[in-house]
Amino acid sequence: MPAIDASADAPATVAGLLDALAGPGWHVDPAFLDADAVAALRAECLRAHAAGTFHAAGVGRGQARVNAGIRGDQVLWLDPDSAGPAGMAILDRLEDLRRAVNRDLCLGLFDLELHFAHYPPGAGYQRHLDRFRDDDRRALTVILYLNEAWRPEHGGQLRFWPEADGEPLDIEPRAGTLVTFLSDRFWHEVLPTRQARLSVTGWFRRR
C-alpha cells in the first residue's frame, strides 16, 4: 500500500511545486502553461501594450517612484475587471494554486496582485528582494514567461540566488515557464534583455 500523499489530489506540477516551496522555498516549472494558452495570453498582453495601456513600473510600496535605472519595464495590472479570456484563465489557475498552497502549507495567502510586464530591449531590473521594508504582506512571488522561441543570446535571464552568498543560477524566460519563490528570501535580478520580454508577474499576499 503506497504512502498517502497529502497532495495526491493536486495535478503533478502543483504537487512538485508544493514540495519545493515546503523545502528550498523556490521552484521552476518549465511547462506550467501549454503553448496555446501562452499564445493567447501573449496576444492579450501585446494588444494591451499596443493600445498604450501600460505604464512605467515603479519601485517600493505602491510603486509610486519610477526609477528606470533600477527597473526598465512597463506594467499593466491584471484583475477580473481588466482581464480578457486568457487573463481570466490564468487568474483561475493561480487561484487554484493559492488554495493548494494554503491547504498544504498554511501560508495564509489572501489575495493576488498580478500584472503583465513588458521589458523593451535594453531594460532589466537590478538585484532586489520582493518584500518591501515597510510592508511585509507579499509572501509568494509568481512569474510566468510568455516568450516564444527565446534564445540565450536574447538576454533577459532571471538571475536567481538560491543562497544569498552562493552562486546564482540563470533562468531563461521561456514561454510557459513558471517561477515561484517565497518573496522575502531570495535575491534576484533581470539581466538586460535584447528583445521585448513579456511576462505575467505577481505576488500572493497575506492579510
Question: Exposed/middle/buried for 39, CB within 10 Å: 0-12, 13-18, 19+?
Answer: middle
73 binds Mn ion (CB under 5 A): no
205 binds ligand OGA (CB under 6 A): no
Among positions 10, 158, 198, 200, the unique one binding ligand OGA when judged by CB under 6 A? 158
Q: In sequence order, which ranges of 65-165 are alpha helices (DSSP H)?
A: 85-105
Q: Which of 90, 69, 182 is nearest to 136 (CA)?
A: 182
Angle between helices 35-50 and 85-105 (to 10 degrees): 120
Q: Binding marks (x or -) toward ligand OGA, 133..152, rule CB under 6 A? A: ----------x---------
Cα distance between residue 61 and residue 132, in whole Å: 6
Q: Which three cell numbers stand for residue 116?
A: 503583465
Q: Which three cell numbers stand for residue 196?
A: 521585448
Cα distance between residue 57 and residue 104, in whole Å: 33
130 binds Mn ion (CB under 5 A): yes
The region of 27-35, 48-56, 122-130, 162-170 touching Mn ion under the rule CB under 5 A is: 122-130
Shortest Å distance, C-beta 171 to ligand OGA = 8
Nearer to ligand OGA, 98 or 138 (CB): 138
Q: Torsions phi, psi of 23, nearest 5?
A: -95, -105
Among positions 45, 109, 130, 193, the unique one binding ligand OGA when judged by CB under 6 A? 130
44 binds ligand OGA (CB under 6 A): no
| Cβ pair 113, 79 in contact under 8 A | no
Shortest Å distance, C-beta 32 to ligand OGA = 14
Shortest Å distance, C-beta 57 to ligand OGA = 7
The residues of the shown chain that bind ligand OGA, judged by CB under 6 A, are: 117, 125, 130, 143, 158, 173, 188, 190, 199, 201
The residues of the shown chain that bind Mn ion, judged by CB under 5 A, are: 130
